[in-house]
Amino acid sequence: MRGVMTRTRTLEDLFVDELFDLYDAETQLMTALPRLARAASSDAVRHTLDAHLDETRAHLERLDRVCAMWHRTPDGRHCAGMAGILAEAMHLADDVTIDEMARDAGIITSALRADHYQIVAYGTLVAWANHLGRTDVANVLARTLLEERAADVKWTLLAEGGLNVDAPDSAVPVLRQ
């Protein structure tokens, strides 16, 4: 493409791309979490999903604030990574052939996958915001990062509390750390 001028993409451009991707990921979770809660048989799993839905609302509010601080509006992009994680979760939630305890174990695993995806994304945005000299933005995002890490611990403890141990061997493997 000789003669065509292209703009060099900067770290700030990547930050905004990741920010918009994460905004869509959180939006997708807002839709998926109630459906997963309805599929769960355990009160503990349902309660944890409901609590995470409340946290997700707060995460979206913070992302709105970060977008405003950056003078940007989410562009409607689609987060394919979260879509894949949630598609697998929904397939499992809708599987009528799976034992209830195994389904709950799979829902926990799906929640862990979603949290790990978000931990990486929020951690990256915090680091990039700091590198770009935007500690104000980094501080807002760091709060959500801490909540995602705490959710990871909650899900892991719930998984280790017996749900996965009692699931049939053909289901989701035991989560141990």
In which band, very low, low, confident or very high, does the pLDDT at 40 lie, cut at 50, 70 and 90? Answer: very high
The tokens for 78 are: 């689609």
Task: Look at the block and give the residue holding tokens 């289901």.
Answer: 171
Per-residue pLDDT at 167 exceeds 60:
no
Number of domains present in the structure of the chain: 1
Average pLDDT across the chain, whole number: 89
Residue 108 lies in a domain: yes
Contacts (Cβ under 8 Å, ≥6 apart) of 71: none
Query: Residues 118, 123, 129, CA angle at the centre, nearest 5°?
Result: 125
CA distance 9 to 155: 37
Tens digits of residue pLDDT in 55-72: 999 999 999 999 999 999
Q: Which pLDDT value is given to residue 5?
A: 67
Residue 79 lies in a domain: yes
- The whole-number average pLDDT for the span 127-135 is 98
Residue 100 lies in a domain: yes
- Which of 167, 171, 145, 146 minimizes the C-alpha distance to 158? 167
Q: Which pLDDT value is given to residue 7?
A: 80
Per-residue pLDDT at 87 exceeds 80:
yes
Q: Which pLDDT value is given to residue 51?
A: 94
Provide the CATH number for the domain around residue 16: 1.20.1260.10
Q: Which pLDDT value is given to residue 172?
A: 40
Domain that holds residue 82: 11-166
Three-state helix/strand/coil letters over 52-77: HHHHHHHHHHHHHHHHHHCCCCCCCC
Long-range CB contact pairs, 169-174, < 8 A, 24+: 170/102, 171/98, 171/99, 171/101, 171/102, 171/105, 171/106, 172/102, 172/105, 172/106, 172/108, 172/109
Q: Which pLDDT value is given to residue 95?
A: 87
- The whole-number average pLDDT for the span 150-158 is 93
- The whole-number average pLDDT for the span 163-176 is 42
Per-residue pLDDT at 149 exceeds 90:
yes
